[in-house]
């Protein structure tokens, strides 16, 4: 995601903060056709999938399953070479695990606290509660406060559920989930079987702005159309009919 951050900042003409260097580079010259694809190792992780690419080799982890593909001859990732190319598989897996070990669970930027789930758990929803029936509802202020624990930043950014929300707590703290640019529905088995649905396939994100350091943050949510049918077709080609449904509709069923 740091490459996307660098790209969005470059497209907006915004300067990088020297005090907070990014490990990614802007892809704007590539998108404009001004240069070729960067020759560098790429690592990424989503809530259900992790991957690393070095050269033509791509390592993929999906749950307990691991795969290795040669994108030089197999862009569709059909032929798993994990067994045949054990040395390459081991090398990419080790590189990926080394990258994961460098990531922090949370971050603080100015007076904004960032986490994926909650300050204490990467896998617990902050703004939603899953009931034993599988129903998903907006968490109460008491539940949100308990999950935040001792974190009292005035602005808290979270993710995980992919549902865009702004919740203002009684003590003045504001919690924002900007939504997801890539997946508007999914199903999960933890803590019980349930589904998260946004209801439309559009990409989502949020922008926080203020004119001066003493000013309060202004939050605006953005909804962006893109070719979700092509994204769904790509998922279907890879045998993920569930993802195809989620991407195309924003509904889990």
Distant-in-sequence, close-in-space partners of 170: CB < 8 Å, separation ≥ 6:
141
At 111, the pLDDT band (50, 70, 90 cuts) reads very high
> Considering the chain, what percentage of its residues have pLDDT values greater than 90?
68
pTM of the model: 0.73
The DSSP bridge pattern shows strands 218-224 and 185-188 to be unpaired
Given a contact cutoff of 8 angstroms between Cβ atoms, the answer to whether 26 and 15 are in contact is no
Average of per-residue pLDDT across 131-159: 97
Taking the CA atoms of 225, 229, 231 and 235 in sequence, report the sign of the dihedral they define: positive
**CATH superfamily assigned to domain 106-249:** Metallo-dependent phosphatases (3.60.21.10)
Q: Which residues pair with 52 in a beta bridge?
A: 43, 59
pLDDT value at residue 179: 97
pLDDT in tens, 45-66: 876 789 999 999 999 998 789 9
Tokens at 53, concatenated: 């690419």
Q: Using CA atoms, how far apart are residues 156 and 103, in angstroms rounded to an integer?
A: 19
Write down the domain spans for the chain: 21-100, 106-249
pLDDT in tens, 209-228: 998 888 999 999 999 999 99
At 245, the pLDDT band (50, 70, 90 cuts) reads very high
Q: Compute the mean pLDDT over every residue in the chain, rounded to the nearest whole number.
A: 91
Among the residue ranges 20-34, 70-84, 142-156, 160-174, the one predicted with the least confidence is: 20-34
Tokens at 244, concatenated: 């195809």
At 25, the pLDDT band (50, 70, 90 cuts) reads confident
Average of per-residue pLDDT across 201-213: 93
Given a contact cutoff of 8 angstroms between Cβ atoms, the answer to whether 139 and 184 are in contact is no
Give yes or no on whether 21-100 and 106-249 have one common fold. Answer: no
pLDDT value at residue 135: 97
Tokens at 64, concatenated: 């307990």
At 38, the pLDDT band (50, 70, 90 cuts) reads low
pLDDT in tens, 156-201: 999 999 999 999 999 999 999 999 998 999 999 999 999 999 999 9
Q: What is the 3-state secondary structure (H, E, C) of the chain?
A: CHHHHHHHHHHHCCCCCCCCCCCCCCCHHHHCCCCCCCCCCEEEECCCEEEEEECCEEEEEECCEEEEEECCCCCCCCCCCCCCCHHHHHHHHHHHHHHHCCCCCEEEECCEEEECCECCECCCCCCEEECCCCCEEECCHHHHHHHHCCCCCCEEECCCCCCCEEEECCCCCEEEECCCCCCCEEEECCCCCEEEECCCCCEEEEEEECCCCCCCCEEEEEEECCCHHHHHHHHHHCCCHHHHHHHHHCCCC
Fold classification of 21-100 is: Arylsulfatase, C-terminal domain (3.30.1120)
Given a contact cutoff of 8 angstroms between Cβ atoms, the answer to whether 82 and 88 are in contact is no
- pLDDT of residue 32 exceeding 90, the answer is no
Distant-in-sequence, close-in-space partners of 146: CB < 8 Å, separation ≥ 6:
none
pLDDT value at residue 239: 85
Q: Using CA atoms, how far apart are residues 234 and 103, in angstroms rounded to an integer?
A: 29
């Amino acid at each position: 995601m740091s490459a996307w951050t660098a790209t969005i900042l470059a497209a907006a003409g915004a300067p990088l903060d020297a005090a907070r260097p990014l490990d990614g580079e802007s892809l704007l010259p590539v998108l404009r056709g001004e240069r070729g694809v960067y020759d560098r190792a790429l690592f990424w992780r989503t809530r259900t999938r992790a991957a690393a690419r070095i050269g033509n080799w791509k390592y993929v982890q999906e749950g307990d399953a691991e795969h290795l593909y040669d994108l030089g001859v197999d862009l569709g990732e059909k032929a798993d070479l994990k067994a045949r190319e054990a040395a390459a598989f081991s090398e990419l897996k080790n590189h990926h695990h080394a990258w994961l070990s460098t990531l922090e669970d949370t971050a603080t930027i100015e007076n904004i606290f960032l986490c994926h789930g909650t300050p204490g758990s990467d896998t617990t929803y902050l703004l939603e509660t899953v009931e034993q029936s599988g129903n998903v509802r907006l968490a109460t202020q008491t539940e949100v406060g308990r999950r935040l624990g001792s974190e009292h930043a005035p602005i808290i950014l979270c993710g995980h559920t992919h549902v865009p929300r702004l919740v203002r707590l009684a003590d003045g703290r504001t919690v924002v989930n900007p939504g997801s640019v890539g997946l508007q529905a999914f199903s999960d088995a933890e803590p019980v079987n349930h589904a998260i649905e946004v209801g439309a396939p559009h990409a989502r994100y949020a922008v926080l702005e203020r004119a001066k350091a003493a000013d309060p943050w202004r939050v605006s949510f953005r909804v962006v159309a893109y070719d979700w049918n092509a994204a769904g077709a790509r998922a279907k080609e890879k045998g993920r009919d569930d993802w195809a449904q989620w991407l195309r509709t924003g509904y889990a069923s």
